[in-house]
Amino acid sequence: MSLTLTHSQANIIRWLLINLGLGTDPASAGSWPIYAYSEPDTPDAVITVYNTVGFVDGRAMPTGEVYEHFGFQVRVRATSSKLGITKINEIARQMAESVHNLTVTIDTETYTVCAITRKSGVIELGKEYPTSERNVFTLNAIVALYRTV
C-alpha cells in the first residue's frame, strides 16, 4: 500500500461521489454534475469538491511510511434551500453509511477509500449574493485512502 497520491483527494472524492450515484460526470451532461477544484457559473444545481487541510496521523517506524488523513470539502449549490439541504444530507449519509474500502479508478490509478469522517455538520452558507439567489451548503471531512500498488 502507498500513500503517495497521483491525483488529489478532491478528484478522488469527486469520482467516489459519481460512483455512488450522487451526481454525474460533467461530460455526460446529466443532473448534479460534480467538479473538483473550481465551480462553474452554470448549471445552478452543482456539486464541487475542494482540497482542504488534513492531518498527519503518525508514521511506521520500520519503513518511515507516513499515515495521513486527507482533508476535503463538499460544496452543494442549488436553486432552493430545500433542494440543496436534501442533496448535501444525502451526500453526508452516503459518506457515513456506504464508504468502507471502496475503490476508485482514475485514468490508470486505483485508490482504496477506507473511510470518510465528517469534521463538521452541514453548514448553510445562505445565498450567493450579490451574484445570484442560489443557496450554498458545505460539508468538511477527512478521508483515509491509499493508492493501490
Q: What is the dihedral of CA 91, 39, 46, 11, to 10 degrees?
A: -40
pLDDT for the residue 3: 53
Give the pairing type, strands 46-59 and 34-36.
Answer: parallel
Sign of CA dihedral 46, 52, 55, 61: positive
Domain ranges of the chain: 9-147
Per-residue pLDDT, averaged over 115-142, amounts to: 91
Residue 2 scores a pLDDT above 50: no
Give per-residue pLDDT as tens, 5-45.
899 999 999 999 999 999 999 999 899 999 999 999 999 99
pLDDT for the residue 145: 93
Determine contact, residues 114/102, Cβ cutoff 8 Å: no
Residue 142 scores a pLDDT above 70: yes
Determine contact, residues 32/24, Cβ cutoff 8 Å: yes
* Grid cell at residue 69: 488523513
Which class is 9-147 in CATH? alpha beta
User: In Å, how far are 2, 3, 77 from 67, measured between CA atoms?
Assistant: 10, 7, 33
Helix, strand or coil for residue 140? Answer: strand
Give per-residue pLDDT as tens, 35-75.
999 999 999 999 999 999 998 888 888 888 777 899 999 99
